[in-house]
Chains A and B, each alone.
Chain A
Amino acid sequence: MVFYDPGHEVASEHTLSVFTENRVGLLGRVTATFTRRCLNIESLTVSDSEVPGVHRFTIVVRVSAAQARKVAAQLERQVDVLKAFVHGEGDVLVRDLALYKLDGRHAGAALDAVVAAHGARVLEQSEAMIVLEQTGTETQTTALFHALAPFGIAEFVRSGRVALTRPMRPLESFLAELEAASGHGD
């Protein structure tokens, strides 16, 4: 018999995409599925999906592969969860959005060079302040944070991760599978 012990597996970063009905209270049920296993959610984003009425949770968590699979199965056990996917690193395109606020007197060639080198852009500029925006991976937004540190960062915020899968598989096809999986009524 194949036996596995999740305690002996190495934790690594996993991204989960969870598709759900739009219902009050589901957010709590989704997060509780992680917290009851004492797993810390690194990032959580909720948005619409391409299917009207279907919400998409993007969740980043550091777990073993086995734990990720079990959590996904427990998420799918929720009546209003349509599908939960666990993505490996290669299957998924991920982005965060970060905003950086600096004192306006730092404007100049030195700052422009950092902005250009990191592919960021100026979102708003006045005498008092400059707000920069960068979209990228967490590594990229963190790199810009370090590059701006010498100027003095007045305020920093980073969004939760959003992720798209690389394989072309429309959500509708999974919904159709759900339909087919039902053998009978009650």
Chain B
Amino acid sequence: MTDSHSHSPEDSVAEGPLVRGAEALVLALIEEGVDLLFGYPGGAIMPVYDALHGHRNRLRHVLVRHEQGAVHAAQGYARASGRVGVCIATSGPGATNLVTGIADAQIDSTPIVCITGQVPSSLLGTDAFQETDVVNVTAPLTKWNVQVTRAEDIAPAVARAFFIARSGRPGPVLIDLTKDAQGALVAFRHTPCTRIRAYVPRPRVSEPALDAAAQLLAGASKPFFVVGQGVVLSGAERALLAVAERTGAPVASTLLGLSAFPTSHPQYVGMVGMHGRYGANIKTNECDVLVAIGMRFDDRVTSDLSRYARQARVIHVEIDAAEIGKNVKPEVALHGDARDVLTALLPRLAERRYPAWIAEFHACDAIEHEKVVARELEPEGPELRMGEVVHAISRKTGGQAVVVSDVGQHQMAAARYSAFEAPRSSVTSGGLGTMGFALPAAIGAKLACPERTVVAIIGDGGFQMTMQELGTAMQSGAAVKIVILNNSFLGMVRQWQELYYESRYSETEMQNPDFVRIAGAYGIEAQRVDTREALGTGLDAMLAHPGPYLLEVVVEREGNVFPMVPSASSVSDVRLEA
């Protein structure tokens, strides 16, 4: 048994054209199937940029306006397409500007490869100009990272990086390349990495556990599926559909699991979690068998763990062994890839139907509709509500668009009021909650999937965190549709201040610029709407426009997102109003 990923220089110098390390990097990226990457040049990465120039017909580089934009664009690319996203930055500040996106990709399991330049190896540790110990900085935030100081190690590092990023539970990987390694000559040869001794990316699924799960489901009277992004990451959408339809169980989704199961499906009962659907939260504490697929029982899903689904017998389908029993101890652990597990489970399952149980969810929906949804979608006042804007976007795109959301109230509105009828249609920053994520992620998603409509739904606060990426949209021509839901507040924080800090609005009110003129300065078509009548025509103009478009929608200043599970409460305590 050996590590098939060879690291010995003897192997890599055999045959192959003699090239500089920088060229070897670019060739290795092409070998791994990369045709698009996002980045920003600088001193320590200049040899790579020189090599990119020579291959620009095969490998397109999109110049961002800040390295955070590059990493979020790579994330959006990966999330929308299922391929590995790639970003590149120079040493020092270039590398540290990637850190937020790397942390985001780690917690949301997004496969990206980040490449950073580094000072020459002779200067390592000397506090040289633009030197940062980025390998140590990113160690806790990456699935794997490595510093490469020799040209012959570049191609093997790239092979290993792509294998690790996309396999198992995906995640971010970083390669730090010293400038001397980029400049040294090497005989280029690329061998894909297919296995690593210590690493089991796709565990064999336990047959007894499959039988036990099938048996639990066979005896269930109130089964409940909660599906997460693991379904999307393993491409298990069809397998999930088959299993769900066989069992007849209601299916809910986590925030990251949105679009894993079609919103319009009669068994779909909505999103769980802090601002999830009333029924999906209440019934979590009434089901008898909880089937969790590719999700990690995040605290925004469970709220108070000691009062979460305690009556339920839990089946946990999960590829990451460290997640099994981390927060909720399952009765049956199905350690494995969601598609493998669901495919193997299907023939063991009997046809079942639970009309009375599903009707209980519908009864909850009726209550939620009266207290929350109707007020959001058919408000009495003249001011626009976030929900009705999202709902209008969703109707006009037939639930087929890729909806990229930022973080805050508008994100919850986007999750709750969008229909997701096609897989990989929701891209959002879930675990890290990174404001500023949406605009660059939408650019990445659009460039990955040019045939799809990509709508970025962003708050006025988050937009201003990365709005310089309008320049990237302009220069790359990425035809993203940007909808700013402008309430002139940091809305979610303001909501909490209203509910828990006696309406002391500490530093949450925003004086905003003229977003239409900002877009205009970049040559991006834009308009502002603030009435219900103008919303429809504004959205039509945005969707009909061939290029990037910004629609600023002025919404109610102090609208709140409900339902809401107050923090430290039980999911049973989900509230429909303040």
Contact = CB atoms under 8 A, between A and B. Distances in A.
Interface of A: 1-5, 20-21, 24-25, 28-29, 32, 36, 69-70, 73-74, 76-77, 79-82, 175-176, 178-186
Contact of B305 (A5, A69, A181): A5
Contact of B139 (A25, A69, A82): A25
Nearest to B163: A186
28 contacts: A1-B313, A1-B331, A2-B331, A3-B308, A5-B305, A20-B198, A24-B147, A25-B135, A25-B146, A29-B139, A70-B322, A70-B326, A73-B322, A76-B322, A77-B322, A79-B164, A80-B196, A80-B198, A81-B198, A82-B197, A179-B1, A182-B202, A182-B203, A183-B204, A183-B205, A183-B340, A184-B202, A186-B166
A1 B329 contact: yes
B475 interface: no
Contacts of A3: 305-306, 308, 310, 328-329
Contacts of A82: 197-198
A24 B139 CA distance: 11
B242 to A, nearest CB: 20
Contacts of B329: 1-4
Interface string B189-213: 0000011111111111100000000
Closest 4 CB pairs between A and B?
A183-B204, A73-B322, A82-B198, A77-B322
A80 B322 CA distance: 15
B196 A79 contact: yes
A49 B152 CA distance: 29
B144 A79 contact: yes
A20 B199 CA distance: 11
Nearest to B306: A5
Given A1-B309, A5-B305, A77 B194 contact: no
B440 to A, nearest CB: 27
Contacts of A178: 197-198, 200
Nearest to B308: A3
Interface in B1-59: 1, 3
Contacts of A32: 139-140
Identify the interface centre among A20, A69, A76, A176: most chain B CB within 10 Å of its CB: A76
Contacts of B198: 20-21, 79-82, 178
Contacts of A185: 194-195, 202
B140 A182 contact: no
A183 B336 contact: yes
Contacts of B340: 183-184
Given A73-B326, A185-B195, A1 B202 contact: no
Given A1-B310, A1-B312, A76-B322, A181 B328 contact: no
A150 B214 CA distance: 69
Contacts of A2: 329, 331
B167 interface: yes
A101 B328 CA distance: 52
Contacts of B308: 3
B197 A21 contact: yes
Given A82-B198, A181-B204, A182-B200, 13 more contacts: A1-B290, A1-B311, A1-B331, A3-B329, A21-B197, A25-B135, A25-B146, A32-B140, A70-B325, A73-B326, A178-B197, A178-B198, A182-B204
A32 B309 CA distance: 32
Nearest to B335: A181
Nearest to A82: B198
Contact of B320 (A70, A77, A80, A182): A77
A178 B331 CA distance: 24
Contacts of B324: 73
Contacts of A76: 321-322
* Secondary structure type dominating chain A contacts: mixed
Interface of B: 1, 3, 135-136, 139-140, 143-147, 163-164, 166-167, 194-205, 290, 305-306, 308-314, 320-322, 324-326, 328-329, 331, 336, 340
A81 B144 CA distance: 11
A5 B310 CA distance: 12
Contacts of A183: 202-205, 336, 340
Contacts of A186: 163, 166-167, 194, 201-202
B115 to A, nearest CB: 17
A128 B453 CA distance: 83
A178 B194 CA distance: 15
A184 B163 CA distance: 13
Nearest to B204: A183
Contacts of B310: 1, 3
B197 A28 contact: no
Contacts of B139: 25, 28-29, 32
A68 to B, nearest CB: 13
Contacts of B306: 3, 5
The residue in B144, B145, B194 that gathers the most chain A C-beta atoms within 10 A of its C-beta is: B144
A114 B195 CA distance: 56
Contacts of A36: 140
A19 B3 CA distance: 15
Contacts of B205: 183
Nearest to A23: B146
Nearest to B313: A1
Contacts of A69: 325
A181 B196 CA distance: 13
A1 B314 contact: yes
Contacts of A176: 1
A102 to B, nearest CB: 39
A76 B335 CA distance: 14
Contacts of A4: 329
Contacts of A80: 144, 196, 198-199
A176 B1 CA distance: 9
B354 to A, nearest CB: 20
Interface centre among B3, B145, B197, B305 (most CB of A within 10 A): B197
B317 to A, nearest CB: 14
Contact of A77 (B204, B309, B314, B321): B321
